[in-house]
Amino acid sequence: MLDDQNVIKQRDPSGALSVAAAEWQQTQFQPEVVNGDNDGRELKSIVLTGMGGSALAALLLKTWLKDRLSLPFEIVRTYDLPEYVNQNTLVIASSYSGNTEETLSGLAQARARGAQIAILASGGQLVETANAEQIAYVELPGGLQPRMAMFYNLNALVTLLAHFRVVPIETLGEILSVGDWLKSETAKWLPTTPTVNNYAKQIALEAAGKSAVFYGGTLTAPVAYKWKISWNETGKNLGFWNEFPEFNHNEFLGWTSHPVEKPFVVFDIISNLEHPQILKRFEISDRLLSGKRPKSIRIELRGDTPISQMLWGCILADFASMYLAVLNGVDPVPVELIERLKQELR
């Protein structure tokens, strides 16, 4: 089925696979900060408020730059900001649509507390507020689902942090430099590449008809979370995630007994740059759980640096989940139930 181009076109009417094929181009996005003047106040902490795909770039960035960020950086995925937020906090309101109610709530609180504020959005109320109040912002290219615009968001986030002197602007070059390599890797997962040579199609076939569980390590946890997002929103398929070493302190035991029948597929997201003890935990855990759960399938990230491996894993997640959607007979793009929930909340 996955090698039948007519079936692909019928089940991907919105062209999601074409969007995935062009994701590498997003790494070349060089954002402009609008309303860039700021008072140069001392910053002592950073908070990003955002939900779902609009928070994903921040999760990747925190792991990628964990040894280079000199300020505490918290990601808030709810309505309320931490009590410590004040005039020495940089609050970044991130919502691809610009209308996410949790993010708008966080923005209102940041303004009330006199925080330094910046905005990431493709439009909506956030950009309207930024222009009206002369708040620094980056306007993201529109027309995509948030989970498919994550690379735009990542480049914009790095640019904003550089603007406020949290990271050097040269950091953006680490993303720009992997674009051509990601383009060549992406070609291996296109619909025209047959299943026998197409890793993304093979993963989708392994997962079809089952609920997926994605495990990451300290370095790969954000990538595992990305796979969970793509599985749920794109594949319209149950998917869960967790990370090592926390897994070994609770969920590890959950696999050993009930329910006896376990219709799951387990994926371990592996990086050769991971802490050696984390890599040992993956191997030992799978051996000790032999016969108690499905044997894990290793997805070994390619690339020479943490950021190249993360971006490679994120694009692969999009392709695999889109092929899963084809197998499930669902359109990869719409998230109708989420939109209905938002309407009813309003």
Q: Are 240 and 228 spatial neighbours (Cβ–Cβ below 8 Å)?
A: yes
**Rounded to whole angstroms, what are the CA distances from 333 to 14, 15, 144, 233, 235?**
7, 8, 9, 8, 9
Active site residue 251: no
The one catalytic residue in 42, 83, 249, 344 is 249
Q: Cα separation of 106 and 150, whole Å? A: 21
Residues, the chain, total? Answer: 346
Residue pair 2/323 in contact by the 8 Å Cβ criterion: yes
139 is catalytic: no
- Amino acid identity at 306: P
Residues 6+ apart with CB under 8 A from 181: 303, 308
Distance CA 161, CA 168 (A): 8
342 is catalytic: yes
For residue 290, how many other CB atoms are within 10 A of its CB? Answer: 8
Angle separating helix axes 179-186 and 306-328, nearest 10 degrees = 30
Longest CA–CA span in the chain (Å) reads 61
| Structure tokens, 339 | 């939109």
Annotated catalytic residue within 102, 185, 233, 274:
233
- C-alpha distance from residue 287 to each of 55, 220, 282 (Å): 34, 21, 9
**Which active-site residues does the annotation give?**
233, 249, 342
